[in-house]
Structure 1
């Protein structure tokens, strides 16, 4: 009998372990989000004095990154902990909420159902610690000024009006985040005037980082009323941090001065009757080259203009590392071109060479443009010019080739300031076939005759294809594809877009888009592609 019972127990254990619990197969997938049944306090409660908030749902729920996704306005500076308990979630705050204030808790998609992780929709709780609920509202849309595309998850804030407002150190009093359409809405706020500012807030600390975050603002205060108008903001990069020399990189062959941000131009003045070749590299570094003879150190005065047009002066000592060994290791001498290799050229064209070192010698008699096997025209036959650092060469050329345009650079025809040369290089470009390209013509409508414009053709990825500065405009030899027309109001006539500055209450130069995307076919002309500007 005992043996029989033992065998039965063993069988139960074995079969029990073998049995697996599996979810039932088939059936319709749950797509219904959890529904809020009750909250404590109730929505729109008055005179709330507690420190704990609870929300109850019709199914089991989980919490997803609530510390990042829960938006509490006005910003409470009141730490909390949370606890999920089956079909409810509770928040326990450290301190009581500020008296006579309306608070909004917007949970976003922080609470989801347990099974399919469907987020609760429009989950928001409003309560007041006073006897009334604030009814003010500010709403609108947010777009990137360069692409005209809506911006998702940017912080849009209402700041108290102040002459000393510093959004790098001060958080907004009320705020919201944009949805995927760039729409924001800040509700249940005090009815008064505010400064409306939007920032990328990539690290979600609600403070502005000018180095890599976009921002946008309205110059005039906005009034938060129950019937207030919609506000549209454009965001832009505006690095207003002070320009500094971030570091220096001394080497045997060169000495680099690296700035804290991109610069537009730099003027170099040698202070002790010395001179060194130099170039601007990657937009934020100034590289000096070690050529003999020169003193152990060279003092230079740098006058640097940043992207905002701010001019800063520096004095810098250039001192190269001491040489070790017989020969100095040099960076290879190389060249890129615009247009890039194998891109089609018309028979009359502008050609640009970009070198990674200043050039000390150019043999314009041996560098030739090859039209056919018998016709070789030297570079000296064409108009060309160097930039101030002799690292960019622009050539205006003309060819009679029928199929292929070739540039021949013999070895030794170009020497850098370090004495090295390019290897023998043959660059080839097919001759452009007019039938494979199209044209776009149009004008600026409602144009101010005193204003200058920058008219740009960009592709679907907003890569610049061509620029013109007069209306009517014509873009020719455009490959088949989809494009946008972008118009910048060039207020200061410097033929470049200028950004805005919050500290100076300066808005960026306005940019307008042709509303519809342009579809251009090969061997086709589009006429009257006009951009209408607001009056």
Structure 2
């Protein structure tokens, strides 16, 4: 007889063997990198004389839609708010919910919106083209995008190019375009299947996905001339930059203590205040969207001032204001001073002191440059000047440091009560600001070159690794530039084509049909903009080629 122990052992062995033979899904294996493949579509690609109520795409695997409302580009324009996108197993369904135009070619470009379920691989070159008439429109509009003020790494994500029929009453700021294209990662674009006609062209960064430009916050550009498309249009250039088109205006005015405030909706780039006694009896400051006018003493009558404001896009505001300067028990604000501490210099030490209020007097005996514990250079009146005598809120001090002083750190010192403002307030805290003197042998000798493909006047800027302008030239004639005695570092060279010679960059103004002034950079080997500068170096032939202007580059055939 078989013992009970043997029976139990046999049963246990059978259970173990069965467990080992059990099948399971593999835990590893290669990653699926194959994108979904389109098997069929309804309507079929390149179909004629069709007005579908929906579009159905069938793939070889289960698929999903990612951000379809933004990722799927439909041209020409339809009401995308009525379109319904859905994914069911291996199918994508697009319900249009609207009547399509007659004799029109429609393009549904799914870009990277359709992905497989397993690894989110996007379907490649997924585009369905059909016509509600008896022919497919085949004209193209293509070119390249450039940024006048690019980020550290040029990013073309969300940049769109659009065409509007010339008789369309909308534009890029009011409605989505009739034809639309997404810019690729290299800054190129191509709108396909365009109907023969006349159009207006725009490009913009659509950060919020509205399919139109927000002029306050989004880079944009536009072509001034009407674009006649009766054949393929190539070599189109757009140069994007920001331009806030909100006209400058005065929001309100009121007294502040015995002073008078004007509150603005935005900061002007140029402010002109006129009064016969301005700079003598009255002074003003302009900061943080506010103009504050200070009297030396209260006034019983309202005082007229002519005010002229200019904003960055060229809008102006000219008006007469009547200011009241009544006696007040309100305690005046404290006098605050901000020096440009931390700057380096070679021979001339340039100090800037920024005040929050106009300064009326300075005690020179408590203002000096210290370079040793017991050694200093006194500041004399001829070393100082206010940038604007009607404001007296920015004091410039230039001190020539002799080469015989072999010191590295020089410190501006101002005791408390050195400065008195228009309200009789003294600086309560002493001022101390350090500046470092550079050695000649540690400086680069020169960076020089030519500007090509453009006409003066120019503003040429040397920009450090922080993006700050460390040196600037205004060139009225000729195309040569030269920066001398440069501190070592990594820089960029930027040129502004200052068309109107006002010594500043002027952005575009769509309402005035004025494009932005061109901005372009030195580009070296391997398409790099950075220039490395070392002590004792001279960098020649740093030639800067202008970016093509906005518009269509016409090719000239040889006769």
Q: TM-score range by the shorter chain?
A: 0.7 to 0.9
How far does residue 411 in structure 1 lie from its aligned partner after superposition?
0.9
Q: Which moved more, 1:59-68 or 1:149-158?
A: 149-158
Distance 1:460 1:47, change over 3 A: farther
Q: Give the counterpart of 2:220 among 201, 215, 219.
A: 215
Tell me the distance in 1 between the aligned counterparts of 2:127 and 2:327. 67
1:423-462 alignment runs, 5 A limit: 423-445=429-451, 451-460=456-465, 462=467
Relative distance call for 1:201 and 1:297 in structure 2 (3 A) is farther
> What does residue 126 of structure 1 align with?
129
> In 2, are the aligned partners of 1:142 and 1:150 still within 8 Å (CA)?
no
Contact 1:112–1:119 (CA under 8 A) maintained in structure 2:
yes
SS at match of 1:262: coil
Tell me the residue number matched to 2:491: 483
Q: Which has the higher contact order (CA 8 A, sep 6+)?
A: 2
Q: C-alpha distance in 1, partners of 2:26/2:449?
A: 65
Question: What residue in structure 1 maps to residue 113 of structure 2?
Answer: 110
Deviation of 1:489 (Å): 2.1
The 1-side partners of 2:254 and 2:160 are apart by 38
TM-score, normalised via structure 2 length: 0.82
Correspondence for 1:350? 350
- Deviation (angstroms), 1:129: 0.8
The verdict on how the C-alpha distance between 1:254 and 1:57 changes in structure 2, with shifts beyond 3 A counting, is farther
- Is residue 93 from structure 1 mapped to residue 96 from structure 2 by the alignment? yes
Residue 173 (str. 1) matches residue 178 (str. 2): yes
Query: What are the superposed Cα offsets for residues 231-253 of structure 1, whole Å, 9 maximum, x if unpaired?
Result: 11101223333222235576547
Distance 1:256 1:152, change over 3 A: farther
Superposed CA deviations along residues 358-397 of structure 1, whole A, max 9, x for unmatched, are: 2122223431123443343223252433423111112222
Aligned partner of 1:281 among 281, 284, 287? 287
Distance 1:171 1:351 in 2: 51
> Which residue is equivalent to 1:380?
381
How much has 1:163 moved relative to structure 2?
Answer: 9.5
Hey, what does 1:510 align to over in structure 2? 518
Q: Which residue of 2 aligns with 1:474?
A: 482
Q: Distance in 2 between matches of 1:190 and 1:460?
A: 47
Unaligned runs of 5+ in 1: 1-21
Structure 1 residue 46, shift from structure 2 partner = 1.0
Q: Please tell me whether residue 43 in structure 1 is matched to residue 51 in structure 2.
A: no
Give the C-alpha shift of residue 483 in structure 1. 2.1
CA deviation map 1:380-426 (0-9, x unaligned): 25243342311111222212332222211111111223313141122
1:454/1:422 CA distance change after superposition, 3 Å: farther
2:270 paired with 1:265: yes
* Count of residues paired in the alignment: 508
Higher mean C-alpha displacement, 152-161 vs 142-151: 142-151
CA RMSD of aligned residues (A): 3.2
Distance 1:84 1:133 in 2: 28
Q: What is the deviation of 1:131?
A: 0.8
1:54–1:90 Cα contact (<8 Å) kept: yes
Paired residues of 1:138 and 1:225 also in contact (CA < 8 A): no
